Chains A and B, each alone.
Chain A
Amino acid sequence: MDNESNKHWLYRKKNLPTLWGIQIAILVLAVLPEFFVHHHPHFEQQGIGMDATWGFFAWYGFLTCTAMVVGAKLLGIFLKRKDTYYDD
């Protein structure tokens, strides 16, 4: 317990739920304007209006990042080597 209290508050286990709570609150704040702001689609002429739908930028950012992390993980299976690989 003494060990815990020596740590910076960011590293204390009991503060972890608070930190997640703050993050979720920020995300909710970021999505709130969706109820008031009307987005203009970038590609009206091409008949694409997806980028003006509710919460598009939020889910697009989340999903593409997930895809990139998973993609990197998969490529890593083939590409990763020990970091002494090129040492003679």
Chain B
Amino acid sequence: MTEMLGSMLLPPGLVLIIGAFLLPLVEGKLRAALVLTLPLLTLALVWLIPDGNHVQIAFLDYSLQPVNSTAEGRLFATIFSIMAFAGGLYALKTATLTELSAAFAYAGSAIGVTFAGDLITLFIFWEMMALGSTMVLWANTAANPKAYKASIRYLLVHLLGGVVLMSGIAAYVFETGSTAFTAMQADSVATWLILAGFLVNAGAPPLSAWIADAYPEASPSGMVFLSAFTTKTAVFVLLVGFAGTEILIYIGLYMVFYGIIYALLENDMRRILAYSIVNQVGFMVTAIGIGSEMALNGAAAHAFAHIIYKALLLMSAGSVLLMTSKRKCTELGGLFQSMPVTAINGIVGALAISAFPFTSGFVTKSLETSAAAYEGLVFVWFMLLAASAGVFLHAGIKFPWFVFFQKDSGMRPPDPAANMRWAMWLFSFLCIAIGVYPQALYSILPYAVDYQPYTVDHLVTQFQLLLFAGFAFFVLLPMMKRTLTISLDFDWFYRRFAKVVGDEFSVKTGKAFDRLETQVRGGATGFIQRLHRHHGPQGILARTWPSGAMVLWVAVMLVASLVLYYV
């Protein structure tokens, strides 16, 4: 029975992708109903599909496996569906139809990746994600003209990543003859290319800048969607494909501190949170590099919790942006007085990302740090511990402090519409529910969990670490004064350096082109003049011949034919 059911199954992601194309066809309440029910339908389907590979579709010489259900995939698909629901609820009243449709196609493609049993299916959904997310960003062009160029830069980075991934997959299939997406070793050009393609979407160096460059140009709801899928899908494929690859430990640690440093320098509230995505994904990438069962559980659980609290933080920041039209810390402050719901939910998200006890961050991130300790990785453990303190510094306090407190900006905007408040309350609830009752999340992790986050030792040390990190923030507050600045990053190379080189090149080529044009024009003019001389009105070949000459020549021809006839 399950076999029969299985063979008829569609990839669960298709529900949202098909839904994306249905949304423009309906209006009003029906559209709202679709936005809210499709993600729940997807979630149900994700859990109805039993473990294993259910559908084989022949494609050229290969077989596609679009419905391959695994524990890891189900975990990520679950949170992606929940995210699509809460994001849809948050976006319901304010997002454009283009954004909403694109976001659903994007979420569906991400779920498609989590059910991909082969590399070709994975790649197809991977590229659909790139298009969907670009559309989410592009859809905000009317409200924010900068979104257009940002979406093009974003697309270019992801097309580059896609090309690298495609080359890797092609070489891998050629070398091994297998298209199956399973654990790989980064030991050949093919697998290195696949790893690099995955890492582009994770926000790994050197191309980390695309996250803070692109996402904050999206609409308030657009960035909520964007923050969830691309980087976490990358975490998923790294977790399945490259667990225990040592270099990931160091790439992850770099990302962790990159995120903190750039977020500390940043003035735009949503760019602070964008850098913080790189920071958080860095923890997961490090854990994947460690590769033990506990570390992988940690990476998966942290991704799950992170999607919720980062979306919550961005919903809070998005509400502020929507109600004030301001995004810079220098222009914000004091908003807790008139936006209490937004402030409270922002603070819950901030506590969760900082891994305060009784929040989701505490019970998930500690799996990763403990895994480093169990594996005896002294340096990694001390770095992750410092980074945990740094998370509180750059996201946990900095975001709520500068947006809702610091100086009083004098603005008194109200909280946003009810649907947005509900979306925030829902995710705040989940942040605390997971923190208080982690067993539910632990029970759906890829491996059995033998870990107790709530020990006296752990509680005491975590409180000390975080509270003293907070103390450092307030002691050093004069050094944190916000300035009207951005920070140079790797994107400088393609936004400035390449432009300068391009301009220089176009000046040089412009001159060369002018010379070439003069030559060609000269040649063409000469040609036309020659043509004119021979075929023009006075040309020898275009002259009108007198009829006498014609008669003479006809007579000559006749004589010639007569002579030839008699000969």
Give the B-binding residues of A (Cβ under 8 A): 7-8, 10-11, 23, 26-27, 30-31, 33-34, 37, 39-40, 42-43, 45-46, 48, 55-62, 64-73, 75-76, 78-83, 85-86
Contact = CB atoms under 8 A, between A and B. Distances in A.
B390 A68 contact: yes
B473 A65 contact: yes
B487 A27 contact: no
A33 B393 contact: no
Interface string B462-493: 11111111111111100110011111110000
A62 B487 contact: no
A23 B501 CA distance: 53
Contacts of B496: 86
B456 A37 contact: yes
Contact of A61 (B260, B457, B472, B484): B472
The list of the 6 closest CB pairs from A to B, nearest first, reads A64-B386, A65-B472, A72-B264, A42-B373, A61-B465, A61-B468
B127 interface: no
A80 B393 contact: no
Contacts of B261: 68, 71-72, 75
Given A27-B468, A86-B495, A57 B378 contact: no
B337 interface: yes
B460 A69 contact: no
B385 interface: yes
Given A43-B373, A64-B390, A76-B487, 6 more contacts: A11-B408, A62-B468, A68-B386, A69-B472, A75-B261, A86-B496
Contact of B389 (A26, A30, A64, A73): A64
B152 interface: no
Interface of B: 257, 260-261, 264-265, 267-268, 328, 334, 337, 373, 376, 378, 381, 385-386, 389-390, 392-394, 405, 407-408, 456-457, 460-476, 479-480, 483-489, 495-496
The interface residues of chain B, by DSSP majority, are classed as: helix
A64 B407 CA distance: 27
A79 B464 contact: no
B265 to A, nearest CB: 5
Nearest to A38: B457
Contacts, number: 144
Contacts of B461: 39, 56-57
Given A30-B467, A68-B264, A79-B265, A60 B483 contact: no
Nearest to B489: A79
Nearest to B461: A57
Contact of A82 (B386, B389, B485): B485
Contacts of B268: 83
B393 A43 contact: no
A7 B392 CA distance: 28
B114 to A, nearest CB: 33
Contacts of A69: 264, 393, 472-473, 476, 479-480
A81 B407 CA distance: 24
A23 B485 CA distance: 31
B265 A43 contact: no
B408 A7 contact: yes
A68 B486 CA distance: 18
A4 B394 CA distance: 31
Contacts of B267: 83
A16 B180 CA distance: 62
Contact of B265 (A40, A62, A70, A80): A80
B488 A30 contact: no
18 contacts: A11-B334, A27-B468, A30-B464, A46-B376, A55-B464, A57-B385, A58-B465, A61-B389, A61-B472, A66-B475, A69-B476, A72-B264, A79-B489, A81-B488, A82-B486, A83-B267, A83-B484, A86-B496
